[in-house]
Structure formats: C-alpha cells, structure tokens
Amino acid sequence: MENPLLHPFDTPHQSIPFSTIRPEHFIPALKENIKNALAAIDEVVHQDAPPTFENTVEAMQNVGELLERNSSILFNLNSAETSDAIQEVTQQASPLLTQFQNDVRLNQALFERIKTIYENQEKENLSVEQQTLLEKEFKGFARNGALLAEDEKHILREIDTEKAQLGLTFGENVLSDTQAFELHITEEKELKGLPDQVKEMAAETAQSKDKEGWIFTLDYPSYVPLMTYAENRSLREKMSLAFGQRGFQTNDNNNTAIILRLIELRKKRAQLLGYDSHAAFVLEERMATSEENVKNFLEDLYQKAYPAAKGEWKAMEDFAAEQLELSPLEKWDTAYVSEKLKQAQLELDEQQLKPYFPLEKVQAGVFEIAGKLYGLRFEKNDKLEGYHPEVEVYEVFNRQGDFYALLYTDFFPRPGKRNGAWMTSYRGQKKDQRPHISMVCNFSKPTASTPSLLTFQEVTTLFHEFGHALHGMLANTTYGGLSGTNVFWDFVELPSQIMENWCYEKDALELFARHYQTDEVIPMEYIQKIKKAAHFQQGLQTLRQLGFGFLDLSYHGAQATDIQDIKKHETAILDRVQFLGDYPESCSSTAFSHIFQGGYSAGYYSYKWAEVLDADAFELFLEKGIFDSETSRSFEENILSKGGTEHPMTLYKRFRGKAPDPNALLKRAGLV
C-alpha cells in the first residue's frame, strides 16, 4: 500500500484520512520529509542571489510543510490515541526530528544569510510582521546554538536528543501508572454519597472489563467525583494515594531520575548558550522578561492570597470537625469537605447544576457565543474523518460565509488518551492556508440513562480550551511562524482564560444552560450562586497555583542542579503554600507533565500572569456589554487574529487602551 504521508492529502480541505494511516507509515515518511526539507534548505543557502528577506527568511517559512504536518499527526495521536506501536514510533521519531531541528539551527551558512539580513534590515523596507519574523528567526538561531563553536554544537545536539526522549518517557510513565490502577468495589453500600450518574459510569466501566460491581480509575471524570462525594474515607484515601504515586513508585515508571536528568540537561544547555539558568534562557522571550520579575510577581500574589487562604483553611477545619467529625484533615478529605462547606455556605450543590449542563448543549452554546462575538458558524461534517469514533469534525465559516477552519472535538477519556485538556493543531494558518484545530478534553461519559452532564468546572474547562481554539481558528497572519498560538508563552493563556468569563454571565448562560430533561433555562438563583461560588476559596485556589509556579521555577533556576532528592525538594518548596503535613508516598513533581513533558518549563506562572490580563481585559466587555460588537471585533483584530506578529504588550494596549492593572485579578477573586 502506498504511504499516504508522502503527499498532500487529496481530501476536502486536505483533512487527514486517519483510517489510511498506519504506525509503520510514519518513520519512512519522516525520513523522506527530512531529506526533502534539507535539500530545499540547501537550495536556499547555495543560491547565487545575495540574501534578502524574500529569498531566505520567507523561503524558509515554506520548507518542510509535509514534515511539520506528519510530525503533528504523530505527536497529537501519541497524546490522544496512543498505542504501544505509536509510542514505539514516537520514540524512534523524536531523535530524527531533534537532529533535523539541530541541522537547521546549526547550519552556519544559513545563519550567515539571516544574520546579514538582520543587520541590514533597514534597506529592505520590511513590514512590522516581517520585522518580527526576522527578529524571531535570528534569535531562534542564536538561542539554539548558531553562535557556538563546533564542539559545543555537538554537545548541544546530544543534549537536545536526550532531552526530547526523556520528555516522552516521562509522559509514558505517567500514563502507564494512571492506567495500571483501578479501584474495584463490589458492595454498593461503600458508594454512599456518590451521585447516581457517577455510580452508573463506574458500573459501565466494570462491565466493559467483564467484572461485577463498580470500577473507579485515575481518569479525572472518575477520580474527581469520588474524591468530592464519597463518604467512605478509606476509598478516598486509596484513590488519593494512588493519584499521588504516579511516577513515584518502585517500578519501571518512576520519574525521579528522569526529572533530575532533565533539569541537569536544561541547565547545561542554558549555560552552553551563555545563560545562568534554564529560567533565564526561557524568560528572555517572555513578557515577564526575567526570573526576578516572575518571583516578584508570584511573591506579591502570595502575600495577598495567604491571609485569605489561611482563613479559608481554618473555616474548613472547623466545619469538618463540627459538622463532619473529621479531625485532623487529611489530603483525601479536602475536596469532600470543601464541597460540603460550599453546599452549606452557598446552598449550592454541584449536582443540582449538572442537569443544566449537558455537553451537547454546552458545546452548542459555546459555538453560539463565538457566533455572536466573532461571526463564526460551525457545521458538523460526518464525511470528514476523526482519529477515533468519538471524535467529531466541524467546518468553521466566517462572517462572510467563507471556510475558515476545521475543528476536531474529542471529549471523553479512554485507554491511550492522557488525562487533562488541551488544544492543539494538525495544520497551522498562514497566507492562503486555513488551520485545522483540535480540542481534547476528558469529561464524564454519557451512560445508558443520561447524556454527558458536565460539572461547572468542566464547563469552564470546555470554554477555556475553546478560547485556545479560537486563537488558532481566527489566526490571520502572512507567516505560519507567527500565527495563532505562536506567541509569547505568558500571553498564550489570555484567549483561553478570558473565554471562561462568559460561563458566569446570565446573558451567556441562558443561551445553553438548559435542563437535559425539561429544557428549562437555568434558574436565576443558580446563576447568582454560580457567581458567588467564583469567590469561594479563591485564596486556597490561588495558593495552589502559586505552589506549582514556585515549584516550576525552583527546578529551572540557577540552583536547580543542587537538587538531589525530588521528594525532599518538593516538600520544602510547597511547605509555605500548604496547610497539610507531608505524605511520604506522594509526589506532585513526578506527574507534573506541564513542565517535564509539555512546554511550560519555567513558564507555569503564566497561568496567573494571563489571569491578570484576562481580568483586566474582560472589564472592558463588562463595561461595554459582553456581546458588544465593537469590543469583540477589537479583541479579534488586535489579539486573536494577530498571533505573534507584534510584541504582546503592544497588541494588548491597542485593544485595552492601557497597560493591564494587576488589581483587576485580585478584585475579581475577591481578595481585595
């Protein structure tokens, strides 16, 4: 059979014909793609014409299109629909792709052409976007070793290859430990407190494994409800400890040595390039600019959040002791007690809300909101293939009725799919090419008797990932390297986090929050309670996020390589943000995929950073109206469509008319 990955796809919108692609197609295709890309680069480098923006920088933007497409397909499948075969291929592909990246970035002749253009750019009369691309390309070479001596370049190549493979192995280990655990229950009395839908889902999981009773797993839709509602404390303890042991057990999946090696390699690489630390290297290309600025930012939030968090924790302890006879509190009690306290204080039970949030209606609602704000229309097309039967594919059309993007949606957990939620792309946007975007979540599955009913947190997760998807779908730049989410990492969360605000607004909720049986719109009293709940335990929630930010920074600062024991180090760092004692058998770091597998190393703070931007930006929508056409068009034109074509602060000020106000976040969270 001919390898489908060797050519452009002859399908509508060049969508991916997933059913024709086999794991064994990838390596031969990638090798051929790499060979062709290097030949194309050779032509750019050895042309007779002197270097210009057009014949060098612009030409390079069109090199390796099939390579980019095919590697995107492989790595996206490895996250959302992996198998032993896909994991094996990904491990083989990783060093090939790393070597290719280094062959490009360490190509001295190519760098000399770009350097010449960079140093003489005033002669070229470049647009703002072209200037940004040129600067990004020049820095990309310089920050990836182009200025190093040959022996140092060789060291860099070795570091990058090992680093890439360690990141993959880290993720595989977390997935293996996640899937290896199941809590099998045969007595229904042990399930006291759990909602019927959760029990039904657990029964169906057991049935799918040919077992009697109920099975709970570490996938979020199974894990979170058990931790929140199960009255049986020993069950919560078993689940909590299993969750905390991912990557931290005495088995082949232990990630502690991988973390130590990764932080060593990252620091070594940064020092090779002339930086004190990996954080210094990363933050040079962020809005925050330096490790000191990030530390000050996190510390300032900590000082403001800690008093509130301390009071919230005391309220939890008192409530648990007096109302639930739980003392002292353990980590497997916190979600359970927090939910009971919220029910008591706000008279709000999450289970009362769920019937108003059937997934199908929430998805239709977010599509309608995108239509009102940005003129987008979504049409499901069953003829376009997904990579799994649960994946749906939508054609997206703009205000003028033109095709604008493909959107893949994938909402339920299954074996071979990692936990969490993310947006990714199968094809980026550039001039004359529209993007293919994917939105992946892990929500509660439908059961035999009920559709998929979302918790309010799952609703905000869907809106969050859809915000990222909008950033990809509405991208409208000339060059792919500056398109969509190709922005500073601490700016990339603004479109996602601002989107969550519509979940709390009456005019938005009434579009989609309808009871799955009666079609009744969510009552106003529930909307008011949802808004009140937005302030519930904000101190503790802020402290938790700050803890991850401090931990991330500690692994990537100048002293990172002094760390000898991951568990001891984590305990010391998190001590000031936690009110519980330590649990020797648990470790967050060994499953901290954001920083050890994903792209958030020295960047986890960006969630809080972007919250400042989003709180400040949404104030304008509140002032003008949440569906105000002028405000939404300005957000689209200045933020969503522009990608990384200009410095993010320039784009932000153009939308907002001023720099962001940090107090907007504290005000919204009720911390000031």
CA distance 660 to 276: 30
* Candidate list 137, 465, 500, 611, residue with the active-site label: 465
Based on its alpha-carbon atoms, the radius of gyration of the chain, rounded to whole angstroms, reads 25
51: tokens are 């270097």
Enter the DSSP assignment of 640: I
- For the purposes of burial, counting CB atoms within 10 Å of the CB of 448, is it exposed (0-12), middle (13-18) or buried (19 or more)? exposed
Residue 521's beta-bridge partner residues?
514
CA distances from 23 to 28, 70, 205 (A): 10, 11, 28
Residue 432's beta-bridge partner residues?
none
672: tokens are 């000031």
447: tokens are 């059961």
Q: Is 465 a catalytic residue?
A: yes
Report the candidate in 671, 631, 628 with the shortest Cα–Cα distance to residue 655: 631
Alpha carbon of residue 24 to chain centroid: 29
Report the candidate in 28, 14, 109 with the shortest Cα–Cα distance to residue 436: 14
Interacting residues of 176 by C-beta distance below 8 A, sequence separation 6+:
253
**Which H or E run includes 380?**
strand 377-380
184: tokens are 């099998």
Enter the DSSP assignment of 643: T
CA distance 273 to 440: 36
**Which H or E run includes 426?**
strand 422-427
CA distance 66 to 62: 10
387: tokens are 């990579």
Residues designated as active site: 465
